[in-house]
């Protein structure tokens, strides 16, 4: 058992049996509740990190919905995924301001650096790459989000430093100064 406050991948591993037990507890609480599908899907994705087919089938049975209805909701909303994601989700804004100010170049550089396409995860399961249409930070374009951190005015040359921060390699002070996550008060 890990010491209190320690975090490691092995310590956070939970087997599938435990995950499905958690899901079953949630399903018991939400059976017969109107509008339960989306909240249950969100909780299931939080448990598994994505929505495996077996979980979708279990949800459909427990909530009395057809599998096609459940799968249709998952396919409609972009925040649901049926493929495992990496430890860090990188989203590149391709809204108008970000696109015009170089978002497409940032995306191309990330695709090259990570050697993945949009919607894919790196072989080491460290990063998943996705796009968004607007993050509401148009004046700071181009913008990327890594998990919940917003990086502003990103240029392709800064990406390795940003990625290193999330790999645990630590970026140089210059990289950090040029692309700090936005603070709440900004």
Q: What is the reported pTM?
A: 0.64
Residues 61 and 108 in one domain: no
- Give the relative orientation of helices 159-167 and 104-114 as an angle to the nearest 10 degrees: 50
- pLDDT tens-digit readout, 90-114: 999 999 999 999 999 999 999 999 9
Does pLDDT of 182 surpass 90? no
Residues 96 and 169 in one domain: yes
Q: Are 90 and 77 in contact (CB under 8 A)?
A: no
**Residue 93 β-bridge partners:** 132
Residue 184 has pLDDT above 70, yes or no: no
CATH of the domain at 106: 3.40.30.10
Helix (H, G, I), strand (E, B) or coil at 5: coil
Domain enclosing residue 126, as ranges? 88-178
Helix (H) or strand (E) holding 65: none
How far is the C-alpha of 153 from the C-alpha of 164, rounded, in Å? 18
């Amino acid at each position: 058992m890990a010491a209190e406050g320690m975090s490691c991948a092995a310590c956070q591993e939970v087997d599938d049996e435990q995950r499905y037990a958690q899901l079953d507890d949630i399903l018991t609480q939400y059976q017969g509740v109107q509008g339960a599908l989306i909240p249950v899907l969100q909780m299931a994705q939080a448990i598994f990190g994505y929505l495996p087919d077996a979980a979708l089938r279990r949800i459909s049975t427990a909530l009395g919905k057809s599998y096609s209805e459940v799968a249709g909701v998952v396919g409609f909303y972009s925040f649901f995924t049926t493929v495992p994601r990496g430890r860090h989700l990188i989203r590149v804004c391709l809204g108008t301001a970000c696109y015009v100010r170089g978002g497409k170049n940032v995306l191309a550089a990330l695709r090259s650096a990570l050697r993945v396409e949009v919607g894919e995860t790196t072989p080491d399961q460290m990063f998943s790459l996705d796009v968004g249409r607007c993050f509401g930070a148009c004046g700071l374009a181009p913008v990327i989000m890594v998990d919940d951190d917003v990086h502003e005015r990103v240029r392709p040359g800064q990406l390795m430093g940003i990625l290193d921060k999330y790999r645990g390699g630590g970026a140089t002070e210059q990289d950090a100064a040029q692309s700090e996550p936005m603070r709440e008060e900004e």
